[in-house]
Amino acid sequence: MKNLDFGVEKLSLAVTALLFVVNIAIGEREMAVAIAVAGVLFLLDYVAIKFVVKALAEKRYSLAFSMFILVMKMLALLAIITVLLVFAKLNIYGLMIGLTSVVIVIIGKGLKG
């Protein structure tokens, strides 16, 4: 059997989709939407960090510029989460589950190598 080696991005999307489907199946629509939004949002955050770190390693940008970009990205993420929680009334538990699912996949893939 062929070794199935998925990247963090695909595996995170699969875990987020699984959690979304399970929550829809048990009737927790608000939680499912929050899980999906958080999973995609934090996956995009991971990809952005990976892009900046790769650019920094290749010395395409200065360290100060890279740190500035990372700080701006974090402020943008904080603003997006605040807007989603305050105005969209996103379920905070679903948000935490979506975040945790992506983080667990990243840690698991990192430990696996």
Residues 74-93 pLDDT 10s: 999 999 999 988 998 888 99
Confidence of residue 113 (pLDDT cuts 50, 70, 90): low
Residues 13-69 pLDDT 10s: 999 999 999 999 999 899 999 999 999 999 999 888 888 888 888 888 888 888 898
Q: What is the 3-state secondary structure of 74-97?
A: HHHHHHHHHHHHHCCCCCHHHHHH
What is the model's pLDDT at position 6? Answer: 67
What is the model's pLDDT at position 112? Answer: 79
* Residue bearing tokens 């905070």: 92
Confidence of residue 9 (pLDDT cuts 50, 70, 90): confident
Q: Helix, strand, coil proportions of the chain in percent (round to 5)? A: 80, 0, 20
Residue 16: partners with Cβ closer than 8 Å, 6 or more residues away: 35, 36, 39, 40, 43, 98, 101, 102
Residues 34-48 pLDDT 10s: 999 999 999 999 888
Domain boundaries, the chain: 8-112
What is the model's pLDDT at position 110? Answer: 82
Q: Is the per-residue pLDDT at 106 higher than 80?
A: yes
What is the model's pLDDT at position 60? Answer: 85
pTM above 0.75, yes or no: yes
